[in-house]
Structure 1
Amino acid sequence: MDSLLLLCARRIVAQRPLPALPADFYPVLFQAAFLDGRALVLQDLVATWPFPVLNFQQLLGHLDCAGMIPTLTVSKPSCGRMQELVEPRHQSSGCWLHVLDMTAVMDDPEWRSEWTSTKALARACVEVSRHQQKFQRRGSKRHSGCSGATTGEATPRPPGMDVHADLVIDRIAYGFLCEALQPGAVGLLRLKCREFQAVNISALEIVTLLESLDPSCLRRVELPVYLGLADLLMILPHLSRFPELRSLKVRYSKLDLEHLTPESAIRLRCVARQLGMLSGLRELNLNSTRLSGNLHQILCDLQAPLESLDLGNCCLVPDDLTFLSQSIHAPALKRLDLWDFNISQDLLEPFRLLLEEASASLLHLDLTHGRMDDSHLAALLPTLLCCSRLRFLGLYGTSLSMAMIKNLLQKTLKLPDLHLVAYPIPEDCYKWDQTKFDRNIFFKFVDWELLSAAEEDISQLLANSGRTDLVWTFRTFDHGALDFFSL
């Protein structure tokens, strides 16, 4: 139910132009205009914002901000109106908008075919810069006397505005970003990237953009899939200029390290050395990279311990886990992702030792689709219960019985911080169809009646425990995973 203040704000934003209002009303007016889809009112509010910082995420909280950036930058305002956002206002108090923080505002899929948030922001920066140049040229002419000499003082240049954003750069957005970030481009809107996600652009194009970015606030880089060692060697040297870089994602890369040639072995060592130059790196995502025995080669030059490591579907062997458990990283790990981890292939004891080393710090453990059955979990359970700070446990897609799931639930109630467990559909809830098979592997289907009963049993156990803060679910898409920066 809306508060009385929000109800009043919704009445106010229903009229345009807005009446003169105290500065303290602006945040709730912004929320009301967003909730009611009043794009023009949102633009009015941003153009007259009375505070130095406007942070969308703080204002809107959990609300879906998708489509916000195109709303403010594509559909009117004009270039002149965008310039109003960054020219000095309230000069008597010396206060005007300095930072427009659009981080954590995701692209709306309905916009992506034509207007991504990144493209809209880049286009706005370019258009405002062009408008500024035209305005300055006209101003210079007006202040020139008949002899061409300047009469009067030059108009003081407005300070402009920093626009903080998480950029998703695809083929559509790349050209606009290049123009917005080109060397020597000085406009009223200064685009600063917090998270850089490259999609379907080449390594050379990534380097072009990285060289143009302001180095002060970039904290995460996510590279496109299917990059090779040569591509990484082209990109990694350019990441050392970003002192705040904490997270690097190199997922689904073409690093077939199971079959190293002498040339690829040399390149791998060079990649490791470049990673070692990233002194602030705390999260590394190597998901679906075929490491298989070469994890030490990649991590050996890192000078500081990683706090988050994604090794899902990486074809790990015992030596990889042994190295990791004996490294500086294990005691510091807060997040460990081992999706599609084949624990049955002599990996049980090395993994148990790794879990033991990480138990004091581990907050997030994801073993989704790991090849784990009741006997494996029974062997791991004593060590798992030592992970006293654990918040998330992902076991979806493993082969556990209902009895083992209930046992796990009852045992893990002692973990005070555990908030979310993604458990598998119990093996007892499958039925086998022997009339349909492929290469002698029988298909199994969920018996929804049995699953509903199992779900009810788990809910009852939770209710009886009094742990109302604890969520157990097999619907993994209902709950987002913890991001490294939220740990």
Structure 2
Amino acid sequence: MSNVLPMMPLSLFSLCAKEVVSNHSSSPLWLRWVPRELYGPLLEASFDGCRPLAVRKLVQKWPERLLRVGGCKKRGQRPPCRICVQALLLAFVRGLFDQRCALRVLDLCGLQGDEGQTVDSIGGWSLTIALCTMVVQALTRERKRVWALKRDKGVKRERGERKRVKEASGNKSDQREGSAGVLGEVDLMKGVRRRMETEKRRESSGMEGDGKESCVPLQVRADIFVNARSWKRVYVALSGAGPLELQCRYLRVEELSASSIGTLLDFLPHRGLLGVDVRFSNLGVAGLAQLLPRLAAFPDLSSLCLRYCNLDLRREQEEALRDLSQGLAQLRGLRRLSLEALHLPGQICVLLSSLSQPLEVLEVPCLSLSAADLSYLSCSPHASSLQQLDLSQNRFDADWLPSMRRLLSQASGSLRHLSLSGCGLSDDLLGSLLPSLDRCSSLRGLALAYNPLSTAGLVKAVRAAARVPSMRQLLYPNPLEDYQPGLPELPSSSQLLNWPLNESTDLTCSLLNKVLKDCGRSDIVLTCDLLNYDKDSVE
């Protein structure tokens, strides 16, 4: 059968898999004959068809040690529904008490989005709560089982001692037998207590263990989402040494203090943590300076995102910036740095110059960048290594043009995505940058939303994008002609966001698609929808 599968069209194979898992009652019949290479396609079909009972059966019989659910998804593929994920977790945790189960590691990294991509899918917060609850329940159940075993052993020993004392008393007189029985019972209870205390000390020190009586250790790998409301539950799950271990690949926290974040980091394994994303947390410069040295303990850490964390150096002592610089210098593997809405004008040089390796991803939206910041960046070692650059919501003017041209020239061979949304680019400013954009041979995505461009300037931008062979996606702004009257000559991004549009936006879309067609490009996706724009979809 396995020799025929590669010859079968994928669509026909998917239809067959969906048909097989559609009948829950027949699963005991077909599951015993399924070869191991078909478990993956059948599980995928069970997720697509929302068949939780089939998911449970397949996971319980999973033939390999590792099961990976999540990660890279096919275009148009929906995430698993909530009930299927719950069935997956319940089936996996049954392996704690079943020596016959081959499955020992469940990898859920990348399974969820921020809040779930569909109504019935499970989001990052809900999945984290479910995983932590599962870990705590497994820990509680194991503790109860251990104490029950110890109680049963104590009862058996006590009965045995009583039996030996009774036999040793022989045929003595009733009085002597009674008095000896009383004394023997007292000595017996003291001996039992001493032995139980000794056994308890041995077990706590790891000197005694019975593999047949203990749970089979399992491991779950996932992206963990934590906020102030769920912090305690996550803390309990990470700090308990139970049979079910929770490992973290990406840690996202919101509304937590630096000390609370540091406490979570203390319980995470040093290997395997790839990224930390801190949002809406009032860290301050002092708090971040306290947190960065703890991140240095994770050698695999390659991504650090700080969003709305109140790092306003205009209100704090600027000498604290040296502490931040020294902390960033300890992150040897850092390749992505995102600093959003932190109000650090003129400080990019101090922060980025401390890094030991060039960055591949730099996101600095709403950072109040100055012309000096961009000048440093264009001459820094990072410029030639950047693959993604986000300068959104930093106001451009003519003084930025030389540095921006130099930056694009340095990054022309590596840059894959550039975001200039809300930068105040007029027709003249953008027209001055278009020749430099033409030379970015690897550019696949360009974001220009909420810039004050006319229809003529927008057409020039689309033609320039069409000249880049690697371009696949363009986020364009609505031209000024599409807005209702009353806008100033050069409106800000917030004005463009809130000003009402005319009903002629469809005409603009048709015009731009016609421009692309005239340029011989039908492989570029044009969109003006910033909320649904995904720069990673072109990768």
Normalising by the smaller structure, the TM-score range is 0.7 to 0.9
Q: 1:236 aligns with which of 276, 287, 292?
A: 292
TM-score by length of structure 1 reads 0.86
Report sequence identity in percent.
Answer: 28
Measured after TM superposition, the shift of residue 446 of structure 1 is 2.0
- Give the equivalent residue in structure 2 for 1:63: 78
Tell me if the contact between 2:50 and 2:80 (Cα under 8 Å) persists in the aligned partners: no
Aligned equivalents of 1:248 and 1:58: distance in 2? 20
Q: Aligned ranges for residues 196-275 of structure 1 at < 5 Å?
A: 196-225=251-280, 226-257=282-313, 259=314, 264-275=317-328
- Give the equivalent residue in structure 2 for 1:418: 471
Aligned equivalents of 2:83 and 2:419: distance in 1? 32
Letter in 2 for 1:243: P
Letter in 1 for 2:307: R
- Specify whether residues 298 and 192 from structure 1 end up closer, same or farther in structure 2 by C-alpha distance, changes over 3 A only: same
Q: 2:19 aligns with which of 1, 8, 23?
A: 8
- Specify whether residues 7 and 178 from structure 1 end up closer, same or farther in structure 2 by C-alpha distance, changes over 3 A only: closer
- Give the equivalent residue in structure 1 for 2:349: 296
- Specify whether residues 159 and 280 from structure 1 end up closer, same or farther in structure 2 by C-alpha distance, changes over 3 A only: farther
- Give the equivalent residue in structure 2 for 1:474: 528
Residue 431 of structure 1 aligns to a residue whose secondary structure is coil
Measured after TM superposition, the shift of residue 265 of structure 1 is 1.7
Q: Aligned ranges for residues 313-352 of structure 1 at < 5 Å?
A: 313-344=366-397, 346-352=399-405
Tell me if the contact between 2:21 and 2:27 (Cα under 8 Å) persists in the aligned partners: no
- Specify whether residues 457 and 403 from structure 1 end up closer, same or farther in structure 2 by C-alpha distance, changes over 3 A only: same
Aligned equivalents of 2:123 and 2:302: distance in 1? 31
- Specify whether residues 265 and 58 from structure 1 end up closer, same or farther in structure 2 by C-alpha distance, changes over 3 A only: closer
- Specify whether residues 466 and 309 from structure 1 end up closer, same or farther in structure 2 by C-alpha distance, changes over 3 A only: same
- Specify whether residues 241 and 351 from structure 1 end up closer, same or farther in structure 2 by C-alpha distance, changes over 3 A only: same
Does 1:28 find its partner at 2:41? yes
Aligned equivalents of 2:125 and 2:370: distance in 1? 44
Q: 1:123 aligns with which of 133, 136, 147?
A: 133
Q: 1:458 aligns with which of 512, 519, 527?
A: 512
- Specify whether residues 60 and 336 from structure 1 end up closer, same or farther in structure 2 by C-alpha distance, changes over 3 A only: closer
Aligned equivalents of 1:400 and 1:115: distance in 2? 39
Q: Which runs of 5+ in 1 are unaligned?
A: none
Aligned equivalents of 1:66 and 1:247: distance in 2? 29
Tell me if the contact between 1:13 and 1:32 (Cα under 8 Å) persists in the aligned partners: no
Aligned equivalents of 1:202 and 1:371: distance in 2? 35
Per-residue CA shift, 1:329-352, capped at 9, x if unaligned? 111111110111211262222222
Measured after TM superposition, the shift of residue 140 of structure 1 is 5.4
Aligned equivalents of 2:270 and 2:29: distance in 1? 39
Per-residue CA shift, 1:382-419, capped at 9, x if unaligned? 11111110011000111112222222222322322211
Measured after TM superposition, the shift of residue 327 of structure 1 is 1.2
Per-residue CA shift, 1:406-441, capped at 9, x if unaligned? 22222322322211000111122223148xxx9xx9
Tell me if the contact between 1:293 and 1:319 (Cα under 8 Å) persists in the aligned partners: yes
Does 1:47 find its partner at 2:74? no
Measured after TM superposition, the shift of residue 308 of structure 1 is 0.8
Aligned equivalents of 2:230 and 2:499: distance in 1? 44
Aligned equivalents of 1:475 and 1:414: distance in 2? 23
Q: Aligned ranges for residues 116-195 of structure 1 at < 5 Å?
A: 116-139=126-149, 146=160, 154-155=211-212, 157=214, 159-182=216-239, 185-195=240-250
Tell me if the contact between 1:57 and 1:103 (Cα under 8 Å) persists in the aligned partners: yes
- Give the equivalent residue in structure 2 for 1:368: 421
Residue 459 of structure 1 aligns to a residue whose secondary structure is helix
Letter in 1 for 2:224: L
Aligned equivalents of 1:255 and 1:292: distance in 2? 11
* Structure with more of its chain in helix, by fraction: 2
Measured after TM superposition, the shift of residue 192 of structure 1 is 0.6
Measured after TM superposition, the shift of residue 57 of structure 1 is 1.6
Per-residue CA shift, 1:299-331, capped at 9, x if unaligned? 221111111111111111111111111111111
Q: Aligned ranges for residues 422-441 of structure 1 at < 5 Å?
A: 422-433=475-486
TM-score by length of structure 2 reads 0.78
RMSD: 3.2
- Specify whether residues 246 and 18 from structure 1 end up closer, same or farther in structure 2 by C-alpha distance, changes over 3 A only: farther
- Specify whether residues 113 and 470 from structure 1 end up closer, same or farther in structure 2 by C-alpha distance, changes over 3 A only: closer
Aligned equivalents of 1:58 and 1:314: distance in 2? 31
Q: Which runs of 5+ in 2 are unaligned?
A: 1-10, 162-191, 200-208
Aligned residues: 465
Per-residue CA shift, 1:98-119, capped at 9, x if unaligned? 2201111225478999972111
Q: 1:101 aligns with which of 101, 107, 121?
A: 107
Aligned equivalents of 2:392 and 2:410: distance in 1? 20
